[in-house]
């Protein structure tokens, strides 16, 4: 095993002082939201100024050891390309599955089922009747809730087909009242679209249709919100694995000591400002130690192997905290390595079940696809069924789709085409 080299001399604090307990939001926030988490403390303190950690280009902040010419170009390119990762469509949709569109438990359950059964293009392909029978819901009620996706961003998601997706998007467009009826007719008869070319408002309809997303999930297939990792784990030119804090993205705190410290108010504010600095140091120390432990327990993963079973309790015992505290601490935190960008929680078994790791599920998916019938590739729903049968866990289809994409495995229809070509 290559030696583990620590690149930061950060003080590890196992116990939070009473003062630092006030700064827990700083630990729990993602790196991109850190400035927002600090805002309430900064706004009430006149001796503190904060410089954003996002003012410089990210490329300038990549560690020199990562971009050093002695490292192979492929590894360098991987690190540079994967240090910022896209936010998934499902993350965006999950945030909208609540009031006002879905205010009740039933509406949220239906909406969650719709999201869990979207295909790669964003169209709904679930078995509505089976879901309704299982949950005692009328089909009319199900459809009523599903049609609310016309008001969900990105508009067009959750439709059953292209025409319905366009109808969803039509209601959010800038089309005139005079052209609206023609647009509906055209959308419902897309195969004969040019049969309407002599209609008065046809040119406006075509202009509006040209702005629609097709497929509805296209913007999340190409680009989306940036996620900045807290840690970078990589092998240096000496083939030693390094854990590097992405501390260049941290805000810089400036404390103005020109005020008269003899005043009790100023003295208190300076003390609070120093506690804020301590809170940032504590955040760095905590996450850096998490990174070291992940390398210790998951070393094989960083050398091309699988993620090993690791529970949050193991990490919590090391820190002397409750597992729920550690869970919040690693939430929305990411690690960049030469295999990609991964959420910290991906390295822990609790994401699925205490005894079943994400890696075990992924390995099973790989074996299933490798041995599938090429004339009839396994759909995500079939993969889900086989996984639940083998591991006795409850999952949703979109989780399988997410794992499949992480493994760079195409959807069943695409695999069928690829098999046919070969």
* pTM as predicted: 0.46
pLDDT of the chain along its 422 residues, tens only? 444 444 443 344 433 444 445 556 777 777 777 777 777 777 777 877 777 655 444 444 444 333 332 333 343 344 333 333 445 787 788 878 888 889 899 999 999 899 888 887 889 988 999 999 999 999 999 999 999 999 998 899 999 998 899 999 998 888 888 999 999 999 998 878 878 888 999 989 988 888 888 888 877 764 444 578 889 888 877 788 889 888 778 888 888 777 655 677 777 788 887 888 888 888 888 889 888 988 888 888 888 777 776 777 777 787 777 777 777 778 778 888 877 778 887 787 644 444 456 667 888 888 899 899 988 889 888 898 898 888 777 777 777 887 887 787 888 888 887 777 75
Cα gap 221→267, rounded to integer Å: 53
Domain boundaries, the chain: 4-85+225-350, 89-222, 352-421
Give CATH for domain 352-421.
1.10.10
């Amino acid at each position: 095993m290559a030696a583990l080299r620590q690149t930061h001399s950060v003080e590890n604090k196992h116990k939070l002082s009473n003062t630092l307990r006030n700064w827990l939001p700083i630990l729990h926030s993602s790196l991109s939201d850190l400035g927002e988490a600090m805002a309430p403390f900064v706004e009430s303190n006149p001796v503190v100024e904060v410089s954003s950690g996002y003012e410089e280009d990210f490329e300038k902040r990549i560690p020199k050891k990562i971009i050093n010419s002695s490292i192979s170009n492929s590894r360098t390119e991987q690190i540079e390309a994967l240090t910022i990762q896209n936010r998934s469509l499902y993350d965006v949709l999950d945030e909208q599955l609540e009031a006002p569109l879905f205010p009740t438990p039933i509406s949220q359950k239906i909406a969650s089922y719709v999201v869990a059964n979207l295909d790669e293009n964003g169209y709904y392909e679930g078995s509505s009747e089976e879901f309704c029978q299982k949950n005692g819901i009328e089909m009319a009620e199900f459809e009523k809730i599903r049609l609310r996706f016309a008001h969900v961003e990105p508009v067009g998601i959750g439709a059953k087909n292209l025409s319905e997706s366009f109808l969803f998007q039509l209601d959010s467009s800038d089309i005139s009242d005079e052209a609206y009826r023609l647009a509906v007719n055209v959308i419902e008869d897309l195969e004969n679209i040019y049969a309407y070319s002599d209609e008065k408002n046809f040119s406006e309809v075509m202009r509006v249709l040209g702005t629609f997303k097709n497929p509805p999930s296209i913007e999340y297939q190409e680009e989306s919100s940036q996620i900045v990792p807290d840690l970078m784990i990589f092998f240096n030119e000496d083939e030693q694995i390094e854990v590097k804090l992405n501390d260049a993205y941290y805000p810089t705190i400036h404390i103005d000591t020109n005020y008269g410290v003899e005043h009790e108010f100023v003295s208190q504010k300076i003390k609070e400002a120093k506690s804020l600095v301590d809170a940032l140091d504590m955040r760095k120390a905590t996450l850096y130690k998490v990174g070291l432990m992940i390398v210790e327990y998951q070393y094989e993963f960083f050398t091309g192997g699988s993620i090993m079973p690791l529970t949050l309790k193991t990490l919590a015992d090391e820190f002397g905290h409750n597992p729920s505290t550690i869970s919040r601490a690693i939430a929305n935190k990411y690690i960049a390595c030469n295999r990609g960008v991964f959420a910290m929680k991906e390295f822990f078994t609790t994401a699925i079940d205490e005894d079943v790791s994400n890696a075990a599920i992924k390995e099973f998916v790989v074996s299933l696809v490798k041995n599938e019938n090429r004339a009839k590739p396994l759909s995500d729903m079939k993969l889900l069924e086989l996984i639940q049968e083998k591991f006795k866990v409850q999952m949703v289809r979109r989780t399988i789709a997410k794992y499949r994409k992480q493994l760079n495995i195409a959807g069943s229809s695409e695999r069928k085409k690829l098999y046919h070509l070969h």
